[in-house]
Each structure stands twice: as C-alpha cells, then as structure tokens.
Amino acid sequence: MTSYTVSELLSKDIKLVEVSVKGWVRTFRANRFLALNDGSSLQNIQCVIDFKNTEDAVLKRLTTGAAVHIKGDLVASQGKGQAVEINVNSIDVLGDSDPETYPIQPKKHSFEFLRENAHLRTRTNTFSAIMRLRSALSFAVHKYFNENGFYYMHAPIITGSDAEGAGEMFKVSKLNAKNPPLDENGAIDYSKDFFGKETNLTVSGQLEAETYAMSLGKVYTFGPTFRAENSNTSRHLSEFWMIEPEIAFLDLAGNMDLAEDFMKYVLNYILKNNREDLEFLENRLIAEDKSKPEAERNTMGLIEKLHFVIENNFKRVSYTEAIDILKNSKPNKKKKFKYPITEWGIDLQSEHERFLVEKHFKCPVIIFDYPANIKAFYMRLNDDGKTVRAMDILFPGIGEMIGGSQREERLEVLQQRMAELHIDEKELWWYLDLRKYGTAVHSGFGLGFERLVMFVTGMSNIRDVIPFPRTPQNAEF
C-alpha cells in the first residue's frame, strides 16, 4: 500500500486500490463524510466512511482537529466539486481533539483571535495558503539569485555594529550567568555581557555583506533582523526577515534595475506556481470588500495587481521631484497632509509615500537621491554635497518595500561622514579597510520579506504573514 499526500491523491484521475493517507479532520458530517486536510493543498479529500461497519466509539472520535490515518480505495467521486474520494476501509485515530476546547472550529474566526492562536492558525485555509506562499516566495528569492550568479552569504546575528546607525538595537545579554560583569555600583552590567564585549542583534547584514561583495562580487543575505523601534503599526515587526543583495562594480542605476528585475521575477514565479492559493486569497478579499464602503474597496484583484507590477515599469523620481509633486498636491478632501511638506530636506511620512504611489503615479515608485542628513552614514555622497545615492522603492498598499543605495567607496569622505555622525572609527575599522584595500563602486538594497508576503497575499497586517510575530506588545509562543 502506498502513502500519498492529499494533493497527490487529488491530482490522480485513476482508481487506486488501498491508498494510505494521514492528516487532520476538518469536518465530519452525517456520520459518513470526513473532510481530511494534510497541509499539502487547500483542498480536503473527502473520505467516505461505512458507519455501519465502524464502531461507535471510533466515529465519536472523528472530531475537528483530530489526527487520523486512513486506508481505503481511491474512487471517482459521486459528489459535486471533487473528482475523487476515498472509500474508507480502515481508520485509525492517531490523536484526539476535544471538540469542547479545540479553538479552530469550522467557522469564520477573526484575525485577532487567530493571532492569539498562532500555533494552530495554519490549520485554517487562509493561513495555510499564506504560509505556503511565504515558503514559495523564499524559494523564488534563492532561485533568482542562484540563476544570476550570486552567492548566498550568512551574515551574523550577533554583532558589535549598528549597521543603520539609528541606535535601534536589542542588546545581547547572558542570563543567569554565575559571574556576571558588574558595574561600579555592584549591579549586573548587561551592556558588556558578551564575554566582556558590548553586542546586539543585527539590524541588517549589509555591512558584512559588503565585505563579501568586495571579494566574491555578487552576494546576498536572507536572514532574520531585529529592530528595537517602538513602532506599533501594521507594517513593523521587532523581528523580520530581510533579503540583502550586495554587488561590486554596480552603481545606483544598476541597483534600481536589479531591484525591479528581481521583484518582477519573484512575482512571476508565484503567479506560475501558486495559482490555487492566490485565487483563494483573491476570493477572500473580494468577499471582504463587499462589506466595505465603495471608496475603500480594492480597485484591482490580487492576481491582476501582480500582473500589473510585472508588466509596467517602476516610476523613477528624485527626492527633489517628489517634494515638488507633494507641495503642489491636494491629497484628500481637506486638501492637506497631516504633516505638510514645508521644506526640502524633511523625511517623507507614510502618508506622502502612499499618496505618490496610490494616487499620483498609481504604480511602484523608486525615489532616489535623498538628502544626506535623513539617510544612513554609508551612502555615496553626490557631487552636490547634500544628497546621497539612496533609493527607496514604494509599493501600493505597502509603502516602503525596499531601501537601498550606492555605498560610499571613498575613504576620506566616509571618514568625514562618520565623524559628523559621531560614529567611532574603531568600531568599524574592518569596514574602513574595504576602502583602503581595493575599493570600488558598489551597491545593494534590503527588501523586507514580510512586506513582500503582504503584497502577494493581500494581507493588511504584517503580523499575519510571519509564523510567530514579535512586536513591542507581543512575543508570545
């Protein structure tokens, strides 16, 4: 007897004698029809039970959430909506599920409720679809870089540096140490707790990736990163995954081309390979839209939106042009932004970014050449002496999807910038070495993986696209 997944069984149009399949009960009705799901597909396989020849004690245990092992014959289905079903010959309950307490009932649960049950929420169609898409997206990311001659680099998680210079790090400390370092008052000094050194969880693998780009040429990282900013928004996490390519001998224009090509590739991959899950999530959004006022509804279906991004060029505008557009715009009925654009040099707020992407250009937008004083220390200074070769890529419904730049490759300019920002050269001596020995133009960017998953799944809260979200309010599980 051969074991199959539900997905394999559903793709078979032949009759098979005695197949074996394991999974979890979604529903059991009329003491006869058991819908079985094993995570391999959105679809359940219908298992038809001969209740007259099955003990009552067993039938009672076929409750939603129970794990079962079914053996039977795969036959053409009599019912609508499925080609095949299993005529059950034997059923083994592997793990019971108490119907009184099992949280995931076959009904609509709110996302808030499911977040509280993050350990069980992938037993629903919506979350299993999201997490299958998340898995496929990460595969597509590796596939793209592999096909384009990049090496995958593992950047460290524990580091002594603050890559973004924003001071938003989580410190690493050793708990319950027998001989913890003490400060002058005799209290535990957690700051120097990594064997006498001060360390933190990485905010970005970029600086380490730069060292590899300057020897291996084209590299990328894809790993967890941590931000201690107290941002309670639907787009921020304390722990998120970031994809960071870094390329030697590439300038900002080449960096934009790479980012656009990469985004289109991964979206195309998903359209080709994950149709069923996409269609399911698209229908979910259509149903959700029906209960919303006209103005708040999605103007494009999920699949149409992915096609639109793939088929249209991203719009490229300088920060200065963007500021001019914003100054002369009337964003809403009040004709005002909450944070009015008062002068050149201010940082863009998410309302400005959303206006540019969703109302003005209506497509992904790359904003480049930002004022130096609102961007990180490592960005290449332009000849005007006041802007840097930075780029942010903004997406409809998301805002900032990607942040990147051409890096400052000139030793003296970088040293001066670090001095202005009071960044100690001793902390980044190895980073400066790259500018002393064989320096060259190089560029890279960072893509927030969860924001990509949000865009592809149409989910509006970042907490719903990562298995166990860590936010300032929540580190359960």
Q: Which residues bind Mg ion (CB under 5 A)?
A: 403
| Rounded Cα distance, 266 and 351, in Å | 27
236 binds ligand 4AD (CB under 6 A): yes
Q: How many residues in the shown chain lie near ligand 4AD by CB under 6 A?
A: 22
Q: 371 phi and psi, to 5 degrees?
A: -60, 135
Q: Which of 38, 85, 164, 277 binds ligand 4AD (CB under 6 A)?
A: 164
**Does residue 277 contact residue 133 with C-beta atoms inside 8 Å?**
yes
Residue 215 to residues 270, 378, 404, 440, Cα–Cα distance (Å):
33, 19, 20, 11
For the CB of residue 255, give the shortest distance to ligand 4AD in the complex, in Å.
Answer: 9
40 binds ligand 4AD (CB under 6 A): no
Burial (CB count <10 Å: 0-12, 13-18, 19+), residue 221: buried
Q: Which of 237, 250, 258, 434 binds ligand 4AD (CB under 6 A)?
A: 237
Residue 446 sits at the vertex; the CA angle it makes with 444 and 449, to the nearest 5 degrees, is: 145
Q: Which of 47, 70, 163, 465 binds ligand 4AD (CB under 6 A)?
A: 163
159 binds ligand 4AD (CB under 6 A): no
65 binds, options ligand 4AD, Mg ion, none, Cβ within 5 to 8 A by partner type? none
401 binds ligand 4AD (CB under 6 A): yes
Q: Which of 114, 242, 252, 388 binds ligand 4AD (CB under 6 A)?
A: 242
Residue 94 to residues 1, 21, 41, 49, 67, Cα–Cα distance (Å):
19, 12, 21, 17, 5
Residue 92, C-beta contacts closer than 8 angstroms, at least 6 positions apart? 68, 69, 70
| Rounded Cα distance, 157 and 138, in Å | 19
Q: Buried b / exposed e across 311-338, counting CB within 10 Å, b at 16+?
A: eeebbebebeebbeebeebebeeeeebe
Q: Which of 276, 289, 358, 400 binds ligand 4AD (CB under 6 A)?
A: 400
244 binds ligand 4AD (CB under 6 A): yes
256 binds ligand 4AD (CB under 6 A): no
Nearest-CB residue for Mg ion: 403
Of residues 70 and 465, the one with the C-beta less far from ligand 4AD: 465
Distance of CA 298 to the CA centre of its chain: 21
Both tokens of 166, joined, read 């924003």
| Rounded Cα distance, 370 and 325, in Å | 15
Of residues 23 and 403, the one with the C-beta less far from Mg ion: 403
Of residues 122 and 206, the one with the C-beta less far from ligand 4AD: 206
444 binds ligand 4AD (CB under 6 A): yes
445 binds ligand 4AD (CB under 6 A): yes
Q: Which of 65, 72, 364, 448 binds ligand 4AD (CB under 6 A)?
A: 448
Distance of CA 58 to the CA centre of its chain: 42
Of residues 82 and 349, the one with the C-beta less far from ligand 4AD: 349
Residues that bind ligand 4AD (CB under 6 A): 163-164, 204, 206, 227, 236-237, 240, 242, 244, 400-405, 444-446, 448, 450-451
